[in-house]
Structure formats: structure tokens, C-alpha cells
Chains A and B, each alone.
Chain A
Amino acid sequence: MTTGNTIVTQPDQRRKGFTLSPLALVVIPLAFLSAFYFYPIFSIVRLSLAPAGTLDISAFGKIVGSSYYLKTLWFTLWQAVVSTGLTLAAGLPAAYVFGHYNFRGKGLLRALSTVPFVLPTVVVAAAFTSLIGPNGVLNTLLMGVMGLEKPPIQLLGTIWMILLAHVFFNFTVVLRIVGSFWANLDQSLENAAAVLGAGRLRRFVEITLPLLSPAILAAGLLVFIFDFTSFGVVLILGGSQFATLEVEIYRQTVNVFNLPVAAALSLIQVLFTLLLTIVYTRLQTRAARPLNLRPTQQTLKRATTTPARLLIGATVTFMLLLLIAPLIALVVKALGDGVQPLSELFINRRGSYFYVPPVVAIQNSLLIATATVLASLFLGTIAASVLAYAGQSSSTMRIRWSAFLDPIFMLPLGTSAVTLGFGYIISLDHPPLDLRASPILLPIAHTLVAFPFVVRSLLPVLRGIRPDLRQSAAVLGASPWRVWREIDLPIVARAMLVAATFAFAISMGEFSATALVARPEFPTMSVVIYRFLGLPGALNYGQAMVMSAILMLVCSAGIILIERARFGDVGEF
């Protein structure tokens, strides 16, 4: 912008003498992060590394000197790289199909693809076990059909299981972020390349891929951070021979109570995330181009040719197999023991203090999720808009501080949930922020995790809006707020829906922080599931599965509802 803002603020300056730049709004997300991220993290690190008031960094020495910790770090790194690669490879073809075609059941399939993302790891583990475990649906079927003695699929406890689960979890991230960006790409660029003699493959490699790269980078970063900080998948599906940093932090904190080492590992993990995000931000700024983004009603069409229909069919089949089959197996398993677990769910047989009627748990979860969606959209939209506006600024100072802010906004995602949970417990239970007893702590914790997702979902689209659109609106007399409302919002609306779905899903499924900060009298669905799993007996396990199935259902319904949403004249773009 040479610059939208300067042009916009000039008339105001004449009227009032001085106006705050709209970019100053950035203090709102920054204040939020300071209070609920930096302050708790700082508290736990101080408690761990400087309990007596003086800094003791010998824990770092222990880590660097130990081949065990180095091996853990190495494993964490390479499994994340491979997982991210596989997720991208699996997700891109689906993103293409979702970004180019309308077909029956598309909305439902997209909503269903988000369900894995929200499921607590324990449930995912149960789903995979019930599908491809030694006694799972698939192995039983194959053994019967092929007359085998032993189950043919033996993935549990192998690295393949971890990789598969990571793809299962994060598929939707690629599908949504890349898919919605792809749907907005200007088709005429590819057409131009075709007329100039480029075949299908060349067009993809030379034109589409580079133009998609901001979205691919954004999705890749999110997936990588998720895999890098993976906890439940590795702990439960991988078995004891695999450990990521996050698993090690958990062990050091909960099992060994070695807080200094846990804090040091936590810091190393944060540092890695920071480094990665800085590299990413550099790449992203270079990759982002002013694109002539199109409304999707111009780009999405029904499939008319046979290859296109086959492609859609293949995508749908693949998604059903990868994403839906484990979930169906889970439901089958949940109902396999008859309706007893289902009916038991509504009875407080032992008159327990901890008994929660399912409806109450659903209500609690929905309430918290709604608050999370609203809060994270509010904070994330401000943050993403500021980053996009400042990034297009002519002033190098602005570009620089946006490059500095972006990694900071991503930090909560790469931070150990265990560390953060402990940070909350020790820092937010006394003034100035005494929130331990308040139910508001939960949506705050969830917002912290959802916020980076919102920023990542919105930023590629906001950056792709040509500055001259904003400038022309400003010249036509629109105030900065009106420019945002009239230009940015309609174009970014689709991405905001994507972001809202992520925020909703994260809140519904978030478990680690929830377990630590949830109030007993305000339990959510994932807390109830975890409680059932912690109790012995087949009936309790069955109830956990039924509750998981209900969680799945409520999530799908919520996501479908969000995707149907229209606000004012802002519809699906």
C-alpha cells in the first residue's frame, strides 16, 4: 500500500488533528497473549529453572549431554517431517477436488473430515484399534475371507501407526486451507499457460503450485507443529518405544516430577517452533503475490467429464476409507455391546458426585466452543488483518514488525499443553489474575490454541487481496473500517468460516489443557470420556465409546451448521 492507510487517514487527520492508525488494534491480541500465554509460561519457567531466585540452567546441560534426549529430539523431528509430507500428499488431491467441483454430499464429507481433528486421542486410538487392531473389524474380515491364521494387518505399536494417525488427524487442515484457497485461484492463469503449450503436469508445477504455495506453507506449518508436539498418538498408539518431546515433558512432569528438565525441554520445543515459524514467515512473505482471487461461484462447477467424475469418486472413496472407516468402526464397537452402555449413560447408579448427565456435558462443551469461536475469530481476525495490511505497507519498518509479530502469534501452538496447563495452575490462581475458580478459564485456554489457526486460515487470503482494491475503496471515501467491511470481509468470509470450524473443533476436542484446568462442576464431553476410560470394566469402556460417538455427532452437526452460516450479505465465497 502506498498506502491504503495513509490515504485513508488523511481526511481524519484534517478533522481531528491526530488519529490512531488502525494497525494499533494489534494491542488487543497482544494483551490477550501477554496475560494468558506469556505470563503463565514465564511463571512456570521461573518456578522450574529459578526456584531459589537464581537461574539454574544445568538442566539444559543434562539434555544436551544425554544421547537419550538427543535421540528423542531427532525422532520428534523426523516423524513430524514425514507425517507432514504424507498429510500433504494425501490432502492435496482432495483439496483440488474440493476447490474445483461441486458434488452431492460435499458439505457433509467436508464436515465429517473435521471430526477426526476434534476427537480426543484416546478415542482415536480406540477407533483405530477397533478398525485395524488384532481383533478389529478389518482383520476379522480379512481373516475370514482369506482363511488366515494370523491377523494380516499388524500396525499397532509401529511407526506406521503413528504416521497413519497423524494423517488421519490433520488431513482436514490441508483440505480446508488449501482447498478454499484453490477455489479462489484465477483459472485464466492456468489457461494462459495451456495456450502457451504447457501440458497438465507443467501447468500444475509451474503455475498452480507456486501460486498455491502460501496456502500449502500455511497448512504445512500447522500440520508440522501439530505433529512435532504430538502427545496422545505417540503415547497410546506408538507404545513405549517411541517418545516425542511432548511425551517426555509429560513423563518428566507427571511421572518423575523433574520440573527443571521438563521446563528446559518445554523451552527447547518453543524455541524450535519459533525458529520454524520465522523461516516460514520469510518464505511466506516471498511466496505471497497479489492474486486476482475469484469468488468461488465463478470457479466451482459440477463435474461433466468422465475423468472428473472418476477423480471425485476416487477422492470420496479415499476419504471414506481413511477418515470415516475408523469412526464407523468406533460406532460399531460402541454399540457392539448392545444398548446397555447407551442407557446406562443416563443413570447415576451409584449416586456419584462425579456423575454428569450427558446433556449437561454437551451443553457445557457447546457453550465453551461457542465462546472459543467468537473470541478466537475476534482476536485472530484483528491479528491477521494487521499482519496483512502491514505486510503490504510501503514502509519497511512496518513489514519488519509484521515479520516479527507473526511468529509470536504462532507460539501458543508449539507450546507444550502440559507446561501451559501447569503454568495456568501456578500463575492464574492469585491476583492480579485470579481465574482458577472461574469457568472462563477454559474458553480462554481453548482460544489460545485456536487463535493461531484463525490467523493462519485468514492470512493467505487477506494477503492475496490486491492492495489497489483497498486503495480504490479508500479513495471512494471508505473509512479504514468500511474498507475492511466492504473489501476484505466479503473476500475473506469463506476463510473465516474455515477458521470458525477449526476453533469449534479445537474447543470440542481439546483435552490436555481441559483436563488440567476444568472445574469438576463444569465438565465437558472430553472430560467425561476420559473419566469413563479411567474407570475399570467393559461397561465404562462402552460408555466412553458411546460418549465419543455422541461427541462425533455433536461436532459434525455443529460444523455443518457453521458452514451453512451466512452473515448479512456475506455468504459463501
Chain B
Amino acid sequence: MKQTTSDILLQVSHVVKSFGATSVLRDVSFDVARGEIVCLLGPSGCGKSTLLNIIAGLEHADSGSVFVNGEDISGTPVHRRGFGLMFQGLALFPHRNVADNIAFGLRMAQQDKTAISQRVAEVLELVGLAGFEKRDVNQLSGGEQQRVALARSLAPRPKLLMLDEPLSSLDRALRERLMDELREILTHVGQTAIYVTHDQQEAFALSDRMVILNAGQIAQSGAPRDIYQYPADAFVARFLGQTNLLAGTVRAADKRLVHTAVGPLVLENESCNEGTVTVLVRPDAALINGEANRIAGTLYEQTFRGRNTRITFKTDATTLIFELDSTAPLPPLGSALILSLRPSAITCLPQTTV
């Protein structure tokens, strides 16, 4: 996504935070453009919730700043920032009904009564809970509570909406449905948002851009598709579910040829540097009948997944996971198998650590 400086809503600049001896964030910087949905993705304990709390103003950074429209807001108290935050535990006020929960932020902004009730009805409609005004929040189902929390954080039209693993407590089917709805609602109102999650499926589905955190540092940021295809290092690759990583060497003579434990592999592009490298073989690389990069092994396991079949493929040196087209003829389990790996699905990681 191309952007000019005036498009930038939020800038997080060199934020450092530690709790006692544990350092949680180590020099984190990134931008969020107006109307953009950015996913902060990382394993639990990587510091993403802390980062969100710092942006919201609930925690203070040890050093570094947060800018909104170019203005440093590090000294602005939480309630003057005009942000929205959907909490992981939802934090619905148990002593208020649905309408009063949603109206809370509007009342804080001193809006008049008719405007408030109009807006409440509007956002309830938006999240698909029209007519729920008088309901007791304690009696709602998990999905309904989720929607009320979303409506509450959307109602005051925040400059920036932050969502802290909002779907983590829901069942898979509901989560997938809400994920789509959430994307639709956010883009419909053109909401700038930061979405924190540890689930890459959620991140892929929702974000314009992903920022992947590892141990308090940004491992990689970029468009979901780019990150998936060209992960910066082994951590990112593994975190996104790509486990086929091989050590290899590249000689100066041919930079498209990598020598690995499963044999020499030919690549389509020249992504590799001379010397020791880490090669990523994407799961969709394997074909039953192909000419390039033929490797021999045994079919160890297979799982039918509808259109694809996931196989575990054992060679003398390593174990690889592939997804094959389910129409491809597979031999019985335990048989020898020769696979061909498409050169376009093989890439060298910029950093060599495995």
C-alpha cells in the first residue's frame, strides 16, 4: 500500500518497555495509515497486548513515543485520546444494559440524548443486533456480547479502533463468521484499526498489513500475501505454518541452484546469496508427476482436507509436509514416492537462521 506522510494516522516510534527484569518491547516502530487495518500478530507473550495498552495510554512506555497526526500523545491521558479499544475479556459493564453500555462513550463526549439513542440504534443495526437496547448484557450469548463490545467501541467514532484478540474466546464457526462480518463492518465505515491476534488465519482474513512481533521486536511487516510468500526468517515462516525449512549451500557459479540434504533444488528467482542459506519449500510446491527437482522418499501419513490432501513425506534426511490436489493418485501409506517440487514455490529466506 502506497502512502504519503499525510496519510499516516498513527506512528509508533522506538517504543521500549520492560516489567522489572523482563523486557517486553525492545525498540518497536511502525505506522498505521488512515483507513488501514493493521494486524499485530505474534505468539502469546510476544508483547502485543502491552504495545496495544501503550498506544491506548493504559501503560506507559519506558522510552519512545506515540504520534497521532504527527503530534506526540505520550502525555495525553487515556480518556482524552479518542481511541476505541475492544478488550480481550470484552469488559462489558455488568451493571448496565446493552444500550447503556454502548451509550457510555457517547455520554462521555457530552452528546445529547436524542443523538445518543439514534447512534446506539445505528451501531446496533451495524453489528446485527437491532432492537437489543434493553437486554441485560449478562444474559447474552458469547457472540452477542462480542457484538455489543464492538458496537460500544465503534459508537463514538474513534480515530483509531484497537481490538485485543476479540474473537479468541469464540468457537471456530462463529469466529469465522464474525471475522468476515468484522472486516465488512470496519471497511464499511472506513475505520482505522489495529487488530491484535495470535491466529494467522484471522490476520490473513482481516488485515491490509501485518506486523509480526517476536520477543518484543518486529520480525517482519508487510502485506499478508507478501509475508506469506517471502517470510523474512525461519520464525515468521514457522509461525505462519510453513515448516519445510532446509539448510543449503549456494555457489557463486549458479545462484539459482541450492544444494540441500534432499538433493539439489532449482529455484525460479535469484533470491539466494552465495554461501550457507535457509530454503523454504512451500506446502503447495509438490507435484506427483513433474520434471523439476525430483526427490525420493516415503509417504508416511495423509489427511484428506476436501480439495487438498495433506501428506507427510519422509526422506532419508528430513520430514516435509505438502498439500496435494486431492485428485492426484496416491500410493498406499508406507510406499516409496517420488515428488517434484515447483521452482516457483521454493525461496531462500533473507536471514539464514533455522
Contacts and interface: CB of A to CB of B under 8 A. Distances in A.
A511 to B, nearest CB: 41
A107 to B, nearest CB: 22
Given A191-B58, A210-B95, A289-B95, A197 B108 contact: yes
Interface stretch (B9-17, B85-93, B236-244): B85-93
A291 B94 contact: yes
B301 to A, nearest CB: 33
B58 A198 contact: no
B108 A198 contact: yes
Contacts of A195: 56-58, 78-79, 81, 83-85, 153
A292 B104 contact: no
B130 interface: no
Interface in B77-136: 77-85, 87, 89, 91, 93-95, 104-105, 108-109
B138 interface: yes
A468 to B, nearest CB: 10
A351 B307 CA distance: 102
Contacts of A289: 94-95, 138
B297 interface: no
Given A196-B104, A197-B105, A289-B138, A191 B93 contact: no
A143 B93 CA distance: 55
Contacts, number: 69
Given A195-B83, A195-B84, A289-B94, A186 B108 contact: no
B284 to A, nearest CB: 41
B108 A188 contact: no
A194 interface: yes
Nearest to B152: A196
Given A191-B58, A191-B87, A192-B87, A197 B156 contact: yes
A291 B94 CA distance: 7
Contacts of A189: 91, 93-94
A554 interface: no
Given A191-B58, A290-B138, A196 B91 contact: no
A207 interface: yes
Interface string A171-202: 00000000000000010110111111111001
Interface string A89-129: 00000000000000000000000000000000000000000
A211 interface: yes
A198 B104 contact: yes
B218 to A, nearest CB: 24
Interface residues of B, number: 26
A198 B152 CA distance: 14
Contacts of B95: 210-211, 289
B105 A207 contact: no
Contacts of A211: 94-95
A188 to B, nearest CB: 4
Contacts of A290: 94, 138
**Chain A interface main SS type:** helix
A290 B57 CA distance: 28
B89 A292 contact: yes
Nearest to A286: B95
Contacts of B82: 197
A131 B341 CA distance: 92
B78 A191 contact: yes
A193 B104 contact: yes
B91 A199 contact: no
Nearest to B103: A196
Most A C-beta atoms less than 10 A away, residue of B77, B80, B104, B156 = B104
B108 A196 contact: yes
B110 to A, nearest CB: 9
A199 B79 contact: yes
Contacts of A194: 57-58, 77-79
Nearest to B87: A188
A211 B91 CA distance: 13
Contacts of A206: 104
A291 B137 CA distance: 12
Contacts of B138: 289-290
A531 B85 CA distance: 65
Interface size range of chain A in the complex: 20 to 34
A199 B76 CA distance: 12
Contacts of B91: 186, 188-189, 191-192
Contacts of B153: 195-196
A235 B83 CA distance: 59
A206 B56 CA distance: 20
A451 to B, nearest CB: 30
Interface string A286-300: 000111100000000
Nearest to A290: B138
Given A191-B58, A192-B87, A198 B94 contact: no
B171 to A, nearest CB: 15
A298 to B, nearest CB: 12
Nearest to B81: A195
Contacts of B85: 191-192, 195
Interface string B149-189: 00011001000000000000000000000000000000000
Contacts of A291: 94
Nearest to A194: B78
A155 B178 CA distance: 67
Nearest to A195: B85
A202 B77 CA distance: 14
A196 to B, nearest CB: 4
Nearest to B95: A210
Most B C-beta atoms less than 10 A away, residue of A188, A196, A211 = A196
B99 to A, nearest CB: 14
A188 B89 contact: yes
Contacts of B105: 196-197
Contacts of A196: 79, 84, 104-105, 108, 152-153, 156
A197 B153 CA distance: 11
Nearest to B83: A195
Nearest to B56: A195
Interface in B45-60: 56-58
Contacts of B80: 197
Nearest to A292: B89
Nearest to A464: B94
A210 B94 CA distance: 10
B61 to A, nearest CB: 14
A305 to B, nearest CB: 9
Nearest to B155: A196
A181 to B, nearest CB: 14
A191 B56 CA distance: 10
Contacts of A186: 89, 91
A292 B57 CA distance: 23
A197 B58 contact: no
Contact of A197 (B79, B89, B93): B79
A81 to B, nearest CB: 25
A540 B108 CA distance: 64
B75 to A, nearest CB: 14
A195 B82 CA distance: 7
Contacts of A188: 87, 89, 91
Contacts of A198: 79, 104, 108
A289 B105 CA distance: 22
Nearest to A206: B104
Interface in A192-233: 192-199, 202-203, 206-207, 210-211
Given A197-B82, A289-B95, 10 more contacts: A189-B94, A193-B79, A193-B93, A197-B79, A197-B80, A197-B109, A197-B156, A198-B79, A198-B108, A199-B77
26 contacts: A186-B89, A188-B91, A192-B91, A193-B104, A194-B57, A194-B78, A194-B79, A195-B57, A195-B58, A195-B78, A195-B79, A195-B84, A196-B84, A197-B79, A197-B80, A197-B105, A197-B108, A197-B109, A199-B79, A202-B108, A210-B95, A211-B95, A289-B138, A290-B138, A291-B94, A292-B89
Interface of A: 186, 188-189, 191-199, 202-203, 206-207, 210-211, 289-292
- Across the A-B interface, give the 4 residue pairs with the lowest CB-CB distance, nearest first: A197-B108, A196-B105, A289-B94, A192-B91
